[in-house]
Amino acid sequence: MLSKAPRENMPSALAVLRDWHVPALLLLYVFLIPLGESSLAVILFFAIGGSLLLYHDGKELFEEYRDWIYLSLALSIPIAISLLTAVRFEKTLISFIVFFAHGLAGIYVFVWCARNWTPNFLLYGIVTILSFWMVTALPNLLSGNLVMVWQEWLGALTGYIGSNRNPGALLSHFSPIYFEALYRASLRLRNRVPWLLAIPYLLVILLAGNRTSWMIVSLVIVIFLVRLLVLRHFSIRAAIASFFVVGLTLFLTMQYFPHFEQRLMRSLQAFQGNIESINYAGSSRVEIWQGGMSLAKDSLLTGKGTYAFGLLNYERGYVRNNWGHAHLYWLEVLVATGLLGLLLYLAVFTYLVNRLFWHIPWSSSAFSVMLTAVAMILPFNPNWDFYSSRVASLICFTLILGFAFMYGTQSSRSQHNTKPSCHKPSDQESLQ
């Protein structure tokens, strides 16, 4: 097994490569996210390594990472079954390969973590990339023009107005990790000045994001504040400061960007409760969902396979436009994999929520990383197509990251013979 391999006579350069290649590749994956499917090359490398490990130590690894294996199979097997009734067989097969490959990739990452766990390197490395996206996107969003054009690939990363790359969506889903870094920085400095860095981050989400991004980041903020209350790291002054940061960000956005206020007012019309107002506020979402339910009834047990939603919905006249996906994860899963896939998907989500709130120490960084995975797989997320290769990979990647931090935290706590709890930790304990 990789974690038991000897290193005594290994040349220093190879030893460094062996010790750091996994976190370096994980960070490379995050950096490549805006560039599309190129990040899958990292997963392919991990998947090959995971396959070799399972071949040599399959029984031992199954016992060690049983919950991850069950979870990855719960997401993969329904896609394989839907191949029997799939409208687009080759697309569905690709989706199955993507999910299955990430299951293998997770094994390789977890085995490496058992030998050389470096949570701070991963956490702050991801935050550095998020900050890069934020800093490069902000001037473009504020000016309405592409400011930085000296590299074509940088243009895709900046998320400038007019690009089909949306930095707001990515930043909102990764916001738990960013807030975790601010929380840890405030503990180290023993003041709350680092939280001011939340203002430009939230500003990018408000300007570049959509209603889904706003919903996700709002949910994350609420959960994070509850977490701080439970840990007793949240005082009246902190509450006032938090409301000040959020309020100031909203005020500046509405004051200087009228289009944001228009979108916000349009979104609020959904709370009137009637179908017309919801359709207007959500760009015909109700029509899409009704069409999806009609389509799901055609193959309720095993589904129509992936990438069938837009094609069939439009051909059968359920919707007026050829919408590519259901704009709701749970409905996308129902149409693609049927009731079997939906039940397993909801079981996976329930398991993750249970792990997040009852099994992971709230004082650990694993809480925020697993919260990122939960936000990414949220059943009511209408932002992306659940089974597109890029989104499926992103979902599985955050799951791998969440489990890696969870396993690393469990291993660290077992070494110190401590039990998980929600008591208030010392600053030093919180930073471990």
**Residue range 309-335, pLDDT digits in tens:** 766 665 665 666 666 777 889 999 999
Q: Is residue 306 part of a domain?
A: yes
Q: Is residue 424 part of a domain?
A: no
What are the backbone angles phi and psi of residue 406, rounded to the nearest 5°? Answer: -65, -50
Q: Write the pLDDT tens digit of every residue in 111-140.
A: 988 887 888 899 999 999 999 888 888 877
* pLDDT lower than 50: segments of the chain: 1-8, 146-164, 280-281, 418-429
State how far the Cα of 189 lies from the Cα of 65, in Å rounded to an integer: 37
With a CB cutoff of 8 Å and minimum separation 6, the contacts of 219 are: 375
Tokens of 347: 């079981």
φ and ψ at 301, to 5 degrees? -85, -50
Q: What is the amino acid identity at position 184?
A: R
What's the number of domains the chain is made of? 1
**Residue 76: predicted pLDDT:** 97
Is residue 9 assigned to a domain?
Answer: no
Helix (H, G, I), strand (E, B) or coil at 386: coil
- Which among 134, 136, 162, 157 has a CA at the least distance from the CA of 39? 157
For residue 205, tell me if it sits in a domain: yes
C-alpha 402/C-alpha 364 separation (Å) is 12
Query: Are 230 and 280 within 8 A, CB to CB?
Result: no
- Asked, for residue 315, whether it belongs to a domain, the answer is yes
324 falls within a domain: yes
pLDDT for 41-97, tens place per residue?
A: 999 999 999 999 999 988 899 999 999 999 999 999 999 999 999 988 999 999 999
pTM: 0.84
Distance of CA 367 to the CA centre of its chain: 13
Q: Which long-range contacts (CB under 8 A, 24 or more apart) does 140-147 make?
A: 141/203, 141/204, 141/207, 141/208, 142/207
Q: Is the residue at 2 inside a domain?
A: no
At a CB cut-off of 8 Å and minimum separation 6, what does 27 contact? Answer: 122, 125, 126, 129
Domain that includes residue 46, residue range = 21-143+165-413
Q: In this structure, is residue 264 part of a structural domain?
A: yes
